[in-house]
């Protein structure tokens, strides 16, 4: 079905859809996980002033998030 | 020491931008060839030129504007975008390597695009369908290149270099595509995607840390350390998923 809204609105919608697909797409868990990781690392570094913990936690939590997402993908693929 | 840290950061930037551009342009080339062969080349080329023009304007407008944003904010926002983008690529490449997802096939992409194009009614001087499909293909794939160029280029203060490397990659893929006049099926796309995923995730981790005022022990050299760590972890993930999948297969 074609979108009959005015062209400026269509551009805004298209722009929003692009960023949604780009950042969230079919892996919303990665999007949420990265935001949670950034929040936790910000707590470590800015609030508690723990630099070493922050620099170790950042890559470690990202890898954990990736692992969880891969596990989820494997389960989904098995169910199919 | 300073020369080493600068060159290690630049090397990762150059490789990341080059590989990202190559992967996206191979996908765009497949669409362009499908449109050109099915609907004719004139409107197809017009769509390609219009899309490239729009992308150049986007880099020219957004790139310099981003330089005015405070550095810590820029690093944090760019770092988060790169982390999400990089982890998505890495996830897809790991799933393909471990056999849980089908490999990306340019032949299939080509056939799908051809099937979606109706070859009738192409006698008009301007073929709107060819123009729009070629424009969308090049613009959307190119937009990901632009995001890589702008995010990596501005955060490393090397926007010019990043744009130059991307241009070289685009021209290279276009020339190879024109010479063979065929979609580039034999390009090791998944290996390239995995490399890009590792580098974008490493850059994302590094810049997110910088944005949060994390002091990396080795400065820019830490980027290479992160690339190494993510490389090992990626290899482990592929091995574990393959093993687990074969165990589950035997059990079932």
- Quote the percentage of chain B above a pLDDT of 70: 89
Cβ-based contacts of B143 with chain A (< 8 Å): 18
- Whether B20 and B200 have beta carbons less than 8 Å apart is answered as yes
Is pLDDT at B212 greater than 90 in this prediction? yes
Average pLDDT over residues B38-60: 88
Contact between A58 and B90 using a beta-carbon 8 Å cutoff: no
User: CA–CA separation, A64 vs B97, rounded Å?
Assistant: 19
- Average pLDDT value for chain B: 85
What pLDDT, on the 0 to 100 scale, is given for residue B2? Answer: 46
What ipTM was predicted for this assembly?
A: 0.90
Return the pLDDT at A35: 96
Domain of A74, in residue numbers: 25-79
Containing domain of residue B59, as a range? Answer: 2-251
DSSP string, chain B: -HHHHHHHHHHHHHHHHHHHHHHHHHHHHHHHHHHHHHH-HHHHHHHHHHHHHHHHHHHHHHHHHHHTS-HHHHHHHHHHHHHHHHHHHHHHHHHHHTTSSPPP-HHHHHHHHHHHS--SS--SSS-HHHHHHHHHHHHHHHHHHHHHHHHHHHHTT-HHHHHHHHHHHHHHHHHHHHHHTS--TTS-HHHHHHHHHHHHHHHHHHHHHHHTT---TTGGGHHHHHHHHHHHHHHHHHHHHHHHHHHHHHH-
- With 80 as the cut, is the pLDDT of residue B1 above it? no
Residues of A in contact with B212 (CB under 8 A): 38, 41-42, 45-46, 54
pLDDT of residue B47: 92
Look at residue A3 and tell me if it is in a domain: no
- Judge whether A61 and A40 are in contact, CB under 8 Å: yes
Query: According to the model, what pLDDT value does residue B182 have?
Result: 67
Q: Which residue has the higher pLDDT, A36 or B249?
A: A36
pLDDT of residue B183: 63
Q: What mean pLDDT do residues B13-30 have?
A: 89
Binned at pLDDT 50, 70 and 90, residue B154 comes out as confident
What is the percent of chain B where pLDDT is above 90?
33
Say what the pLDDT of residue A5 is.
80
- Candidates B84, B140, B233: best to mutate against A (most CBs of A within 10 A) is B84
| Of B220 and A68, the one with more pLDDT | A68
pLDDT of residue B181 exceeding 90: no
pLDDT of residue A58: 96
Give the gap in angstroms from C-alpha B209 to the nearest C-alpha of chain A.
7
> Looking at the domain assignment, is residue A16 inside a domain?
no
pLDDT score at B124: 59
- Return the pLDDT at B36: 87
pLDDT band at A2 (very low <50, low <70, confident <90, very high): low
Q: Is the pLDDT of residue B224 over 60?
A: yes
Tally of structural domains, chain B: 1
CA nearest neighbour of B56 among B170, B132, B137, B154: B170
Residue A17, pLDDT score: 87
pTM for this structure?
0.83
Average pLDDT value for residue range A26-45: 95
Residue B235 confidence (pLDDT) above 80: yes
User: Average pLDDT, stretch B95-116?
Assistant: 80
- Report pLDDT digits (tens) over B85-104: 999 999 999 999 998 888 77
In this structure, of B19-33, B54-68, B189-203, the range with the lowest mean pLDDT score is B54-68
In-domain check, residue A47? yes
Q: Domain count for chain A, please give it.
A: 1
Distance from CA of A51 to the nearest CA of B (A): 6
Which residues 20-49 of A are in CB contact (within 8 Å) with B?
A: 22-23, 25, 27, 30-31, 34-35, 38, 41-42, 45-46
């Amino acid at each position: 079905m074609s979108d009959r809204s005015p062209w400026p609105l269509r551009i805004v919608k298209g722009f929003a859809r692009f960023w949604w697909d780009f950042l969230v797409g079919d892996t919303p868990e990665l999007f949420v996980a990265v935001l949670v990781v950034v929040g936790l690392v910000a707590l470590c570094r800015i609030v508690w002033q723990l630099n070493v913990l922050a620099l170790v936690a950042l890559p470690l939590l990202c890898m954990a998030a990736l692992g969880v997402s891969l596990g989820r993908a494997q389960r989904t693929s098995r169910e199919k | 020491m300073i020369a080493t840290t600068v060159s290690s950061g630049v090397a990762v930037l150059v490789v990341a931008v080059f590989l990202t551009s190559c992967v996206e342009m191979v996908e765009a080339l497949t669409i362009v060839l499908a449109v050109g062969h099915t609907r004719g080349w004139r409107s197809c080329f017009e769509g390609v030129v219009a899309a490239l023009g729009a992308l150049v304007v986007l880099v020219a407008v957004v790139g310099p504007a981003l330089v005015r944003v405070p550095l810590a904010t820029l690093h944090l926002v760019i770092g988060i975008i790169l982390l999400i983008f990089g982890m998505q690529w890495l996830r897809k490449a790991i799933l393909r390597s471990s056999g849980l997802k089908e490999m990306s096939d340019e032949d299939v992409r080509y056939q799908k695009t051809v099937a979606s194009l109706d070859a009738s009614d192409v006698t008009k001087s301007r073929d709107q369908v060819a123009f729009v499909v070629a424009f969308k293909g090049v613009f959307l794939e190119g937009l990901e290149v632009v995001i890589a160029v702008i995010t990596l280029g501005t955060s490393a203060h090397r926007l010019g270099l990043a744009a130059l490397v991307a241009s070289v990659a685009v021209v290279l893929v276009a020339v190879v595509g024109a010479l063979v006049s065929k979609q580039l099926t034999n390009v090791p796309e998944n290996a390239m995607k995995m490399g890009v995923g590792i580098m974008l995730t490493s850059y994302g981790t590094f810049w997110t840390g910088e944005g949060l005022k994390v002091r990396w022990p080795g400065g820019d050299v830490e980027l290479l350390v992160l690339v190494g760590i993510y490389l090992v972890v990626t290899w482990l993930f592929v091995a574990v998923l393959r093993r687990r999948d074969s165990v589950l297969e035997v059990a079932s």
